[in-house]
């Protein structure tokens, strides 16, 4: 069942098109990742779904209610965690939770039960009287997530929840998300990190406000066409620039090596001489299975 | 209702957790009261008065005594051999010259009409106005002392008549007005900043996804500031009455009633500003521009409205402080009641409703 349905969503800011005729839906009980670089339009989509943005055209439904017409009915079903930390730094952990519980109409008794549960999974219990502003990055995100969860929403909208969070806290955060998914929540999460796609159930690649591709972490790399090679050379700025000028090839820096992509009806042999002038010998190139990031880069370049 | 309470509690916590702002909100009004009460003193004292006594009688010396003992005049050190008032004033050693022609004593005894001369240096308009009124006062007291009670004062006409502030003390005039300025500043400034802060730090974004209405957010947020502004008002009033001896002749309840209406008008302006700006700094500047300046300059607080250019006079109708100033001075100095104040009161209430309507209409639950 589709809990969130977005159809033909468009939003422009002046002459800039942030979201361009975007369609997607989220099923009940899945983690859907929206993946794309900064400025791809993720936040505009999130704000539109959460009723914070006057989008230009299209329709959005959450739990069967139209977001622009029946937003009051949508609100109890929706938990939103904005990209930037959006809780009150001068209030304590518990005061923040208490405030949001109040905003969603929880009774005092309901809150004290809910509180226990939230402290349990977030591990924030020992810090209940610490000011939110004094928490570490990872704990801040857990608190923001807890505040978005006080009213047991069916749908969680998390806009880049792990950006700027250390790797250990990121893993813990994703463990919590999986737990929530297993208990039936639908989670839509945006991320600039490709490795988080592998943790989600389904992912959508976004670039320039458009959908590039959609599928499970296993399906997505199959959308790669042609072949991918790893070149064991130092990816200097100059080298990357010259590689970019070769028609027919696409390439990207990958750690201390370079990935080079050849289209389906083409072959690496056609570029041997050009690569050699750049100092890339044939025996320095190894064919590799394309990963998610290779796929994204190739789709982006099309 | 519950949600309003939650928001108000949260807002109160913000206020209490930020001691610096709290100190500013409490201390600044008190400091300003002292400043306006003591330092900015428009009372004119120590007017240098030279006397040309051609009568040289007991009565004339007695009259001169009334002048110097009034507390406003000092003996001028002008050269005693100058007998022309104009020459004396030109030396700059005197601000005013009192001329008592011969025959003054006889005139007092027979209660005839008599003319005294007073030449005043008009270069300082304030000084000259004060000199003539203080002189009239001194003369009046002299004549009253000389006449049997109930008798008409012959031949004396006073061109200036000072009511309600018989000592012409400027603190009586300034301190009530200060309440109008400070209430406006605290209310508008702090509300516009508190809403702008939620926008700037992004907390508004998460708040707006909760099932709350704009009205609940606004009311909840401003309640603590109404309290804070009232507290400030009471502080200033306290200092005004007990420190500067400003009289409080009217009803405290009536004052409180209009005070709250005035605060709501100020809060509405603050909310309206916050809908237009996105940062606290802009909110602060806009609030000062829109509230403090007009409340000081266009309300009749310092400058008389009837002396302003016509366009500015029309503009003053949109300044809540204009009405509140008349109300508060009326209540404190004259003991005026609602039958006297209802016109100003109605204007203030209408303006408040107008501002509040615009503010709530403009306050939206969208961020873009």
The CATH number for A177's domain is 3.40.50.300
Residues A284 and A174 in one domain: no
A150 and A34 fall within a common domain: yes
The residues of chain B that CATH labels 3.40.1710.10 are 47-146
Strands A202-207, A31-35: pairing is: parallel
Q: Is A3 on the interface with B (CB under 8 A)?
A: no
Q: Domain check: are A22 and A98 in the same one?
A: yes
Give A21's contacts (C-beta < 8 A, 6+ positions apart): A8, A9, A10, A58, A210
What is the number of CB-based contacts under 8 A between chain A and chain B? 86
> Cα-flanking dihedrals φ and ψ of residue B36, to 5°?
-70, -30
DSSP per residue over B155-196, as a string? T---S----S-TT--HHHHHHHHHHHHHHHHHHHHHHHHHHH
Same-domain check for residues A255 and A193: no
pLDDT in tens, B301-355: 877 777 788 888 888 888 899 899 888 888 888 787 777 788 888 888 898 888 8
A98 and A233: one domain?
A: no
- What is the domain count for chain A? 2
CB B210 to CB A91 under 8 A?
Answer: no
Residues A279 and A174 in one domain: no
Half-sphere exposure (Cβ direction) of B209: Cα atoms closer than 13 Å: 32
Give the one of A86, A95, A102 whose C-beta lies nearest to B203's C-beta.
Answer: A86
- Find out if CATH 3.40.1710.10 is the number for domain B47-146: yes
A81-97 pLDDT tens trace: 998 888 999 999 999 99
Task: Give me the percent of chain B exceeding a pLDDT of 90.
Answer: 4
pLDDT at B153 over 70: no
Domain termination residue (choose one: A221, A242, A274): A221
User: Which of A52, A109, A151 to probe by mutation at the B interface, max B CB count within 10 Å?
Assistant: A52
CA dihedral A264, A266, A272, A276 (to 10 degrees): -60
When pLDDT is cut at 50, 70 and 90, the band that residue B121 belongs to is: confident
The two three-digit tokens of residue A271, written as one number = 């570029």
Q: Determine the pLDDT at residue B157.
A: 40
CATH number at residue A291: 3.30.70.250
Q: Is B348 within 8 Å of B327 (Cβ atoms)? A: yes
**pLDDT value of position B6:** 92
Tell me: pLDDT of A296 over 80: yes
Q: Among the three residues A165, A199, A221, which one is the final residue of a domain in this structure?
A: A221
pLDDT at B304: 75
Segment B157-169, tens digit of pLDDT: 433 333 344 454 5
Asked if A4 and A62 touch (Cβ cutoff 8 Å), the reply is yes
- A80 to B206: CB separation less than 8 angstroms, yes or no: yes
Q: Are A197 and A265 in the same domain?
A: no
Instruction: Give the model's pLDDT for residue A9.
Output: 92
* pLDDT tens string B174-215: 777 888 888 888 888 888 888 888 888 888 888 888 888 878
**In sequence order, which ranges of A14-90 are alpha helices (DSSP H)?**
42-49, 71-74
pLDDT tens-digit map of A172-186: 899 989 999 998 899
Residues A140 and A238 in one domain: no
Structural domain harbouring A288: 225-301
Residues A108 and A229 in one domain: no
Regarding whether A143 and A250 lie in a shared domain, the answer is no
């Amino acid at each position: 069942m589709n809990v969130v349905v977005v159809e033909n969503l468009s939003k422009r800011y002046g002459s800039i098109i942030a979201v361009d005729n975007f369609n997607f839906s989220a099923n009940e009980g899945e983690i859907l990742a929206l993946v794309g670089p900064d400025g791809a339009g993720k936040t505009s989509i999130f704000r539109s779904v959460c009723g914070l943005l006057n989008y230009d055209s299209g329709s959005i439904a959450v739990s069967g209610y139209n977001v622009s017409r029946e937003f009051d009915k949508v609100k109890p079903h929706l938990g939103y965690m904005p990209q930037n930390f959006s809780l009150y730094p001068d209030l304590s952990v518990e005061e923040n939770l208490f405030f949001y519980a109040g905003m969603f109409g929880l009774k005092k008794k309901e809150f004290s039960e809910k509180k226990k549960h939230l402290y349990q999974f977030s591990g924030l219990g020992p810090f209940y009287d610490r000011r939110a502003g004094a928490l570490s990055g990872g704990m801040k995100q857990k608190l923001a997530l807890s505040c978005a969860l006080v009213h047991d929403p069916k749908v969680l909208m998390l806009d880049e929840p792990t950006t700027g969070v250390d790797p250990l806290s990121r893993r813990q955060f994703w463990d919590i998300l999986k737990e929530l998914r297993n208990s039936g929540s639908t989670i839509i999460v945006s991320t600039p990190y490709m490795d988080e796609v592998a943790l989600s159930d389904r992912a959508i690649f976004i670039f320039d406000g458009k959908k590039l591709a959609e599928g499970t972490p296993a399906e997505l790399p199959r959308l790669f066409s042609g072949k991918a090679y790893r070149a064991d050379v130092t990816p200097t700025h100059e080298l990357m620039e010259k590689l970019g000028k070769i028609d027919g090839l696409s390439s990207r820096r990958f750690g201390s090596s370079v990935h080079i992509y050849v289209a389906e009806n083409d072959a690496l042999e056609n570029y041997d001489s050009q690569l050699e002038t750049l100092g890339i010998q044939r025996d320095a190139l190894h064919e590799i299975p394309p990963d998610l990031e290779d796929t994204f880069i190739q789709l982006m370049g099309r | 209702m519950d949600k309003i309470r939650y928001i108000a509690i949260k807002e109160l916590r913000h206020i209490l957790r930020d001691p610096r702002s709290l100190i500013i909100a409490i201390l600044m009004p008190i400091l300003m009261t002292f400043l306006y009460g003591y330092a900015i003193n428009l009372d004119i004292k120590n007017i240098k008065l030279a006397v040309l006594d051609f009568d040289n009688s007991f009565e004339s010396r007695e009259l001169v005594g009334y002048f110097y003992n009034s507390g406003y005049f000092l003996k001028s050190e002008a050269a005693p051999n100058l007998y022309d008032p104009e020459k004396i004033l030109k030396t700059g050693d005197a601000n005013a010259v009192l001329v008592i022609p011969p025959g003054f004593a006889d005139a007092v005894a027979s209660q005839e009409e008599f003319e005294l001369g007073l030449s005043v240096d008009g270069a300082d308009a304030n000084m000259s106005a004060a000199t003539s009124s203080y002189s009239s006062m001194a003369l009046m007291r002299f004549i009253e002392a000389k006449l049997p009670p109930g008798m008409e004062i012959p031949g004396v006409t006073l061109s200036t008549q000072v009511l309600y502030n018989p000592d012409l003390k400027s603190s009586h005039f300034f301190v009530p007005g200060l309440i109008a300025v400070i209430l406006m500043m605290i209310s508008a400034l702090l509300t516009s900043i508190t809403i702008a802060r939620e926008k700037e730090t992004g907390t508004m974004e998460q708040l707006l996804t909760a099932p709350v209405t704009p009205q609940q957010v606004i009311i909840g947020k401003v309640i603590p500031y109404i309290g804070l502004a009232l507290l400030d008002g009471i502080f200033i009033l306290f200092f005004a009455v007990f420190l500067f001896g400003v009289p409080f002749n009217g009803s405290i309840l009536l004052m409180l009633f209009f005070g709250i209406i005035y605060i709501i008008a100020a809060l509405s302006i603050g909310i309206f500003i916050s809908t237009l700006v996105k940062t606290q700094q802009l909110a602060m500047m806009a609030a000062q521009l829109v509230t403090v300046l007009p409340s000081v300059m266009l309300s009749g607080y310092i400058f008389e409205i009837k002396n302003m250019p016509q366009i500015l006079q029309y503009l003053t109708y949109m300044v809540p402080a204009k009405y509140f100033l008349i109300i508060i001075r009326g209540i404190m100095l004259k003991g005026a009641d609602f039958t006297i104040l209802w016109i100003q009161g109605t204007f203030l209430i209408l303006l408040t409703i107008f501002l509040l309507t615009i503010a709530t209409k403009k306050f939206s639950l969208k961020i873009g």
